[in-house]
């Protein structure tokens, strides 16, 4: 994927300005910055949930921003989105929420009446098992903890058989242990499925712990793109601003342990109540 001059304006306010970068091989990319830096808007433009004002997103030579109708829906299936607030249907059971990840590939009427085939149910249960929550398959989604609900949302994304996963602040509302399990799950998906995961994150520690590459944004502009170890103190200050904000960004909701990706165990068997 190659992003060229991507820009989004809301009236006179420029939310994202002239952002350009390329992903030539599967990576886990962390996008960091303060609230309002343009991180969420950037992901929503990639997924076509928000129209871009200017720029191009090239995938295999085709501009994603030109896609319409079925082609755009196919791209949104290939580019699965995970949200901070989970976006589950609270009164439906967990396995049905996961199967709704296939809505793009099946008739809406069929899906609404829960006429899912045995193969789809088995796929959903395998996705839940991979996330360590298959024992919650028949629970209503609203009865689960925040960390469990986010893992259901990840399982739903896996049901799309995506080429890429975009995660918009997936741990912002979670406690540290739940956040660790969610980030480990996303890392495991990147490594096992060999797909790109782009994850918006508030905290620098989390990006350093789990991501191969970091993109820093400030005031809608991309101000850093490189390895986590290349983030100098001066660059971190440019991304996060004042020292008080910097301290909070580095430490708040920090993942305990800071274990490098290669040394972490699989999250499949982990559970959080």
Domain membership of residue 229 (yes or no) is: yes
Domain membership of residue 23 (yes or no) is: no
Q: Give tens-digit pLDDT for 136-179.
A: 999 999 999 999 999 999 999 999 999 999 999 999 989 999 99
Q: Give tens-digit pLDDT for 5-47.
A: 999 999 999 999 999 999 999 999 999 999 999 999 999 999 9
Domain membership of residue 16 (yes or no) is: no
* Mean pLDDT, all residues of the chain: 87
Separation of alpha carbons 33 and 219, rounded Å: 9
Domain membership of residue 53 (yes or no) is: no
Separation of alpha carbons 199 and 165, rounded Å: 8
Domain membership of residue 186 (yes or no) is: yes
Statement: residue 245 has pLDDT above 60: no
Mean pLDDT within 97-113 = 66
Statement: residue 256 has pLDDT above 50: no
Q: Give tens-digit pLDDT for 45-54.
A: 999 999 999 9
Q: Which domain holds residue 203?
A: 29-43+84-263
Domain membership of residue 14 (yes or no) is: no
Residue 102's pLDDT is 84
**pLDDT band per the 50, 70, 90 thresholds, residue 203:** confident
Domain membership of residue 50 (yes or no) is: no
The enclosing domain of 143 has a CATH number of: 3.40.50.300
Domain membership of residue 116 (yes or no) is: yes
Count the domains in the chain.
Answer: 1
Q: In whole angstroms, what separates CA 211 from the centre of its chain?
A: 12
């Amino acid at each position: 994927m190659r992003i060229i001059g991507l820009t989004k304006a809301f009236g006179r306010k420029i939310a994202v300005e002239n952002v350009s970068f390329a992903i030539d091989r599967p990576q886990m990319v962390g996008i960091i910055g303060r609230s309002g830096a343009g991180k969420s808007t950037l992901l929503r433009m990639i997924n076509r949930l928000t129209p871009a004002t200017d720029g191009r997103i090239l995938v295999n030579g085709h501009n994603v921003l030109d896609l319409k109708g079925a082609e755009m829906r196919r791209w949104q299936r290939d580019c699965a989105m995970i949200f901070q607030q989970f976006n589950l249907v609270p009164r439906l059971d967990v396995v049905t929420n996961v199967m709704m990840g296939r809505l793009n590939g099946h008739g809406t009427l069929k899906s609404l009446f829960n006429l899912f085939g045995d193969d789809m149910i088995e796929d959903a249960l395998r996705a839940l098992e991979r996330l360590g929550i298959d024992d919650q398959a028949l629970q209503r989604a609203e009865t689960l903890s925040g960390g469990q609900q986010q893992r259901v949302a990840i399982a739903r994304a896996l049901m799309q058989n995506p080429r890429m996963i975009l995660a918009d602040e997936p741990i912002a509302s979670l406690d540290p242990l739940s956040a660790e399990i969610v980030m480990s799950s996303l890392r495991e998906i990147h490594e096992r499925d060999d797909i790109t995961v782009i994850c918006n994150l508030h905290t620098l520690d989390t990006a350093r712990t789990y991501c191969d590459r970091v993109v820093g944004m400030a005031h809608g502009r991309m101000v850093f793109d490189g390895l986590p170890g290349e983030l100098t103190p001066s660059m971190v200050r440019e991304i996060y601003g004042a020292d008080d904000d910097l301290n909070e960004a580095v430490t708040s909701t920090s993942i305990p342990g800071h274990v490098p990706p290669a040394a972490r165990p699989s999250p499949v068997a982990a559970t959080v109540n």
